[in-house]
Amino acid sequence: QVQLVESGGGLVQAGGSLRLSCAASGTIFRFNGMGWYRQAPGKQRELVAGITLGGNTNYPDSVKGRFTISRDNAENTVYLQMNSLKPEDTAVYYCNRLGGAPFPWGQGTQVTVSS
């Protein structure tokens, strides 16, 4: 059974940094690219960072240069380093596979950026 557990969120001032972690059970990392997604109140969930099995990364323009995704396959963990945070980054952050039907979503981790 696949389980995704996100952690590392919190309250930070604009310009600050946070590092999110996502631990996964099962063999999810062995066969899937992974992504970090976020959902702000009243908005659709959006992809903010993706990393393929080969380690290639991609980001939307809104976070490019500020967010960095990485993965540790030995630890079944994917990370999201977020720098220069802005109030518009406030959202619940989730991890899941990159592309294809998502696995059951975890509880996410709340990131709140104050101005």
When pLDDT is cut at 50, 70 and 90, the band that residue 74 belongs to is confident
Q: Examine the pLDDT at 1 and tell me if it is beyond 80.
A: no
Task: Kindly state the DSSP code that residue 105 receives in the 8-state scheme.
Answer: P
| Sign, CA torsion 25/31/37/42 | negative
Tell me: the pLDDT tens digits for 31-64? 889 999 999 999 999 999 999 999 999 999 999 9
C-alpha closest to that of 67 among 91, 32, 99: 91
Least confident of 22-26, 35-39, 66-70: 22-26
Contacts of 6 (CB under 8 A, 6+ apart): 20, 21, 22, 93, 94, 95, 106, 107, 108, 109
